[in-house]
């Protein structure tokens, strides 16, 4: 295991290193220029689509779900512990300037996710049960003619889901409940396994119904808690913003309590890496659920990809970062990182109540990530092995949840090492997903441009209405 983890570390440093981050952001910049800045010129349409009358006609035999339900399911997987612990880690390692680079990557990430979602709808197929299946593997096989890359992507997604989607998220849920309310992790694990089992046994429609209600609630709950802290510390917001902008381009020299090692390079790399990890733009995960949407044009569904990144990174991640900086937690407690730094910041802002706000937010974010990533795992395994594997995948998922949440009781003293290794390998596999996904995006950028032109023409002629 030690040898495996050493090789994993080498691969991980490359996958989340400068070349890959340049490729991720560079693809977003290229698509932004090629498609005519869709994240800006369609921004008004995004809000009309989210809150207005939805396109598409649905009949009783249609196995698809609504565009909003697909987005809620995708956001269930996207909005997770990275929005709380990941942002805190980026600030801890990269300094205040990491926030600026996180937001910069998100601006171009909005276009990347827009493109991959649209292509997923364009190249989707129905399986033997009449369910829509789509995503990067279908884009690569049926669009780019690269089945070997499609198989690689599906394999990476399947294996990454064990850590990112199941065990580690279950552990975060249990930790959140234990941190705020003292709930025994074993009890959390059993209840969590039962709840998830009840949801996933009903398939995508059951899963999307739960996330449609739960995701907006958890987002609003966390945003309100953050706003209260920011209103309380409103006088510190200009200083926090100025500090972030200043240290995005210049090394911090003498910030009291600053961590040794803060630099522009660290701010750029950690800000972009955590931003990409949080909103998953370019990784190819979210298109797997967007491909199931009942929608009249691929570009219409692509608008939801823009919305996802905007809400995940530009709104929720920014609020976490500002809460940490305006409460003085970043420089006041330089030894804290991850969820502990966020917890300290919310306690500074809300007193004892802050612990409950963060623990509930952490538990809900992790729980919904488990639900969203289950669909990714099922889609990947259906592509690799066929629909017969679906019951097996459900069983594996429930076992992993129990092991993740109650690892201490089940695995004993080796639980922490097991989860750490699983997370590290999943982090690498998650990054490996980006390589075939970005290749597909670049190879099919011409198709994407035609879809955008077709959409614009139909909207101008009145064939597509909002």
pLDDT tops 60 at residue 61: no
Q: For 290-329, what is each residue's pLDDT tens digit?
A: 998 888 899 999 999 999 999 989 999 999 999 999 998 8
Residues 6+ apart with CB under 8 A from 273: 16, 21, 90
Q: What is the DSSP letter of 127?
A: -
Is 38 inside a domain boundary? yes
Is 90 inside a domain boundary? yes
pTM over 0.75: yes
Domain containing 275 equals: 2-55+62-154+203-367+436-460
Are 313 and 103 within 8 A, CB to CB?
Answer: yes
E strands, 79-155, in order:
125-126, 132-133
Are 408 and 184 within 8 A, CB to CB?
Answer: no
Q: CA dihedral defined by 292, 298, 300, 304, rounded to 10 degrees?
A: 50
Distances in whole angstroms, Cα of residue 442 to Cα of each of 23, 215, 248, 300, 342:
11, 32, 29, 20, 37
- Which tokens sit at 436? 């075939």
The whole-number average pLDDT for the span 110-123 is 95
Is 413 inside a domain boundary? no
Which residue, chain included where needed, has tokens 């929608």?
Answer: 295
Are 330 and 92 within 8 A, CB to CB?
Answer: yes
Q: What's the pLDDT score for residue 441?
A: 94
Banded model confidence at residue 381, pLDDT cuts 50, 70, 90: very high
Is 310 inside a domain boundary? yes
- Please state, in angstroms and rounded to a whole number, the distance separating the CA atoms of residues 71 and 76: 8
Range with the poorest average pLDDT among 182-186, 386-390, 406-410: 406-410
Q: How long is the chain?
A: 466
- Which tokens sit at 214? 């739960």
pLDDT tops 50 at residue 260: no
Banded model confidence at residue 263, pLDDT cuts 50, 70, 90: low
Residues facing 126 on adjacent strands: 132
Q: How many domains does the chain have?
A: 1
Neighbours of 254 (CB within 10 A): 5
The whole-number average pLDDT for the span 145-152 is 94
Is 417 inside a domain boundary? no
Chain-wide mean pLDDT for the chain? 84
Instruction: Give helix then strand counts, H and E, for the chain.
Output: 24, 2
Neighbours of 386 (CB within 10 A): 11
pLDDT tops 90 at residue 457: yes
Q: What's the pLDDT score for residue 453?
A: 95
Where b means 16+ CB within 10 Å and e means fewer, 109-147 reads bbbbbbbbbbbbbbbbeeeeeebbbbbbbbbbbebbebe
Is 290 inside a domain boundary? yes
Q: What's the pLDDT score for residue 58?
A: 47
Is 465 inside a domain boundary? no
Which residue, chain included where needed, has tokens 């007193």?
Answer: 351
Banded model confidence at residue 153, pLDDT cuts 50, 70, 90: very high
Instruction: Return the CA Rg of the chain.
Output: 21
DSSP string over 307-376: HHHIIIIIIIIHHHHHHHHHTTHHHHSTT--HHHHHHHHHHHHHTHHHHHHHHHHHHHHHHHHHHHHHHH
Q: Which of 370, 355, 430, 432 is nearest to 400 (CA)?
A: 370
Q: For 162-183, what is each residue's pLDDT tens digit?
A: 877 788 788 878 877 887 788 8
Is 380 inside a domain boundary? no
The whole-number average pLDDT for the span 417-428 is 74
SS3 content of the chain, % helix, strand, coil (to 5): 80, 0, 20
Dihedral-angle region of residue 282 (phi above 0 means left; psi in -120 to 50 means alpha; beta otherwise): left
pLDDT tops 90 at residue 360: no
Question: C-alpha angle with apex 341: 338 to 345, nearest 5 degrees?
Answer: 140
Banded model confidence at residue 257, pLDDT cuts 50, 70, 90: very low
Residue 173: half-sphere exposure toward Cβ, Cα within 13 Å: 32
- Which tokens sit at 448? 């994407």
């Amino acid at each position: 295991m030690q040898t495996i983890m050493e090789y994993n570390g080498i691969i991980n440093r490359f996958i989340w290193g400068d070349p890959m981050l340049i490729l991720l952001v560079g693809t977003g910049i290229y698509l932004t220029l090629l498609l005519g800045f869709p994240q800006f010129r369609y921004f008004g349409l995004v809000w009309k689509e989210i809150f207005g009358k939805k396109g598409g006609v649905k009949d009783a035999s249609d196995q698809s779900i609504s565009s909003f339900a697909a987005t809620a399911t995708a956001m269930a997987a996207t909005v997770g512990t990275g929005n709380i612990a990941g942002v805190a880690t980026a600030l801890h390692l990269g300094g205040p300037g990491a926030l600026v680079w996180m937001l910069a990557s998100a601006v171009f990430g909005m276009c990347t996710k827009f493109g991959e979602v649209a292509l997923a709808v364009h190249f989707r197929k129905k399986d033997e049960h009449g369910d829509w299946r789509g995503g990067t593997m279908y884009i690569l096989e049926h669009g780019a003619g690269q089945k070997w890359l499609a198989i690689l992507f599906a394999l990476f997604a399947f294996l990454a889901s064990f850590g990112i989607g199941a065990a580690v998220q279950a552990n975060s849920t249990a930790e959140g409940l234990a941190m705020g309310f003292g709930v025994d992790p074993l009890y959390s694990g059993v209840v969590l396994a039962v709840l998830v089992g009840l949801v996933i046994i009903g398939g995508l429609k059951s899963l999307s119904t739960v996330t449609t209600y739960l995701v907006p609630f958890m987002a609003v709950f966390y945003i309100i808690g953050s706003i209260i802290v920011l209103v309380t510390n409103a006088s510190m917001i200009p200083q926090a913003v100025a500090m972030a902008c200043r240290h995005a381009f210049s090394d911090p020299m003498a910030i009291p309590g600053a961590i040794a090692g803060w630099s522009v390079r660290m701010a750029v790399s950690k800000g972009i890496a955590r931003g990409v990890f949080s909103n998953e733009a370019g990784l190819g995960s979210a298109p797997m659920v967007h491909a199931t949407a009942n929608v009249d044009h691929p570009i219409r569904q692509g608008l939801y990809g823009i919305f996802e990144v905007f809400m995940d990174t530009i709104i929720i991640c920014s609020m976490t970062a500002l809460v940490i900086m305006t409460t003085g937690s970043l420089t006041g407690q330089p030894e804290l990182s991850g969820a502990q730094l966020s917890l300290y910041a919310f306690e500074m802002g809300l007193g004892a109540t802050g612990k409950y706000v963060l623990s509930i937010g952490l538990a809900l974010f992790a729980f919904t990530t488990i639900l969203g990533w289950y669909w990714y795992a099922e889609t990947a395994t259906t592509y690799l092995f066929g629909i017969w594997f679906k019951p097996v995948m459900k069983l594996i998922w429930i076992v992993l949840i129990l092991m993740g949440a109650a690892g201490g009781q089940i695995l004993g003293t080796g639980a922490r090492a097991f989860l750490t290794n699983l997370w590290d390998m999943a982090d690498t596999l998650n990054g490996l997903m980006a390589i075939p996904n970005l290749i597909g995006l670049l190879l099919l950028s011409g198709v994407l441009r035609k879809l955008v032109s077709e959409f614009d023409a139909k909207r101008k002629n009145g064939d597509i209405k909002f």
